[in-house]
Structures are given as C-alpha cells and as structure tokens.
Structure 1
C-alpha cells in the first residue's frame, strides 16, 4: 500500500464516522508491516507515517486534529487557524 492509498483509506474511515482516532488508524496501518505507513515512536506509541499524514492533509483540508484526545474531526467555526487544536 502506498502512502496515498493509506491516506485515502483514512479519509474513507473518517467519512464513515465523522471522526478518526490516531491509534485506530495507525494500528490498522501497522499491520501492513511498512514503517512508511505506521511506526512506533520513541515512547512506544503507534503513529501514522509522515508521508501518509501529508497525503491525508491534502485530501482533507477541513479536518483538524484534536491533540488532547488524538483524533481527527471536522473544523468548527470556533477553531483556531491551523490543523491542530
């Protein structure tokens, strides 16, 4: 699977639920055994690969990431500029 296909999968999952937890996406991608798609960081957390995130951001410009709860959601009128809230 390419990073673009992984991002498209993430977008489809997001659209089905209107949110997507990072751990859920990263765990799914980790099972594909490609560190470009997902990896463990220095603290042992599973993370979505940077190239996948870059593609996801291109596909979903109105989706923001909630840092505190580690999930993506639709942008709200009250959100600050930027992708992370």
Structure 2
C-alpha cells in the first residue's frame, strides 16, 4: 500500500487531536518509522525533518485552527487569546 503526503498529514492531525500537542521532534521520528521516505528528509544539520509536501497537506487540513509554538517547537489547537497568524511565540 502506498502512502501519500495527505495520508501522513491526516496521521499528524489524528496525533494532535489525541495528544493535544504535536512536538516536531517526536512526530518526525514517528513519520520516519511508520512511513519512511519520501515523507521526511535530512536537513543541513543532519537531522530528520518533515517533508514540505506533508507540511503543505497538514496546513490544508488544519487551516487557522492550529498554531505553531516556536519556543516549544510544537503544533497545538488555536486558543481564543492567541495572536493572529500561524506562528506563536
């Protein structure tokens, strides 16, 4: 069975709903283990990173309902007192 970027993004949304916080470091390890390439790559620092295609699909699924916590390096559902935009400090 072939898994595409949308399938991996759906997995990420399901994990976010289950865990409430989706930490980048944890989810990329899960993607490597469960889905393999081409859903991740090695960045310049030699670390695994989520493919741009998966992140694009994840953004489509979550729209403005999810924000990125820069300091915690995780995604979470938007709160009423969050600033506008996807990125939160």
Provide TM-score, normalisation by structure 1.
0.88
Provide TM-score, normalisation by structure 2.
0.85
Q: How many residues align?
A: 84
SS at match of 1:72: strand
SS at match of 1:39: strand
Stretches of structure 1 lacking an aligned partner (at least 5 in a row): none
Q: Give the alignment's Cα RMSD to 1 decimal.
A: 1.3
Question: Where does structure 1 differ by over 3 angstroms across 4 or more consecutive aligned residues?
Answer: none
Larger radius of gyration: 2
Equivalent residue, structure 2, for 1:5: 7
CA distance in 2, matches of 1:80, 1:46: 29
Q: Does the Cα contact within 8 Å between 1:20 and 1:72 map onto a contact in 2?
A: yes
Residue 71 (structure 2) pairs with residue 75 (structure 1): no
